């Protein structure tokens, strides 16, 4: 490319640091592995005892050590360790049914004065709107 400038492989902040007398030293390998698991793994290691305790009590869900990194909620399935809110969001994305869509269905059924019958797992169900 004509006129393209080659960028230095360091940032302005580093250039400033060096200009002000800062020294760049080579990293020294200490052969020590010091990880903060609560940061690097989202607290999943700390979740193990919490999950086991919930399992022992027969609880379906438990509160993890730290909230979900994706949705920020603190409720996980004891059985699968999946975040419940993320699961719900995935399910909603799959069916394309948001609360708004369901409301639209409600309005439709109300306007038409209709109910919908359907079968699931060999059982008959009816979907209808009732006055609360
Ligand atoms: Zn989540």
Instruction: Note the pLDDT tens digit of each residue in 60-83.
Output: 999 998 899 899 999 999 999 999
Residue 6 domain-assigned (yes or no): no
CA 126 / ligand 1 centre spacing (Å): 32
CA 110 / ligand 1 centre spacing (Å): 34
Residue 40 domain boundaries: 36-95
In whole angstroms, what is the distance from residue 78 CA to residue 56 CA?
Answer: 10
pLDDT at residue 33, as a whole number = 63
pLDDT at residue 56, as a whole number = 95
- Which tokens hold the place of 72? 């920020």
Residues 6+ apart with CB under 8 A from 95: none
Query: Do residue 105 and residue 63 come from a single domain?
Result: no
In whole angstroms, what is the distance from residue 65 CA to residue 84 CA?
Answer: 15
Residue 79 domain-assigned (yes or no): yes
Residue 16 domain-assigned (yes or no): no
CA 47 / ligand 1 centre spacing (Å): 14
CA 43 / ligand 1 centre spacing (Å): 13
pLDDT digits (tens, 9 = 90+) for 25-60: 777 777 766 554 444 445 678 889 999 999 999 999
- Of 77 and 90, more confident: 77
Residue 27 domain-assigned (yes or no): no
Residue 116 domain-assigned (yes or no): yes
CA 68 / ligand 1 centre spacing (Å): 5
Query: Do residue 90 and residue 116 come from a single domain?
Result: no
Tell me how far CA of residue 47 lies from CA of 43, 59, 118, in angstroms. 6, 14, 41
User: 6 pLDDT exceeds 70?
Assistant: no
């Amino acid at each position: 490319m004509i006129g393209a400038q080659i960028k230095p492989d360091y940032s302005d902040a580093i250039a400033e640091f060096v200009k002000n007398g800062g020294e760049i030293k080579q990293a020294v390998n200490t052969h020590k592995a010091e990880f903060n698991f609560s940061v690097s793994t989202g607290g999943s290691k700390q979740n193990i005892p919490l999950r086991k305790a919930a399992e022992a009590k027969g609880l379906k869900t438990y509160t993890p050590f730290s909230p979900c990194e994706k949705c920020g909620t603190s409720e996980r399935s004891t059985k699968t360790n999946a975040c419940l809110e993320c699961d719900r969001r995935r399910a909603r994305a799959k069916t394309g049914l948001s609360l708004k869509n369901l409301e639209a269905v409600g309005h439709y059924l109300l306007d038409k004065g209709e109910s919908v019958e359907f079968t699931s797992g060999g059982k008959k169900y009816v979907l209808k709107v009732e006055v609360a």
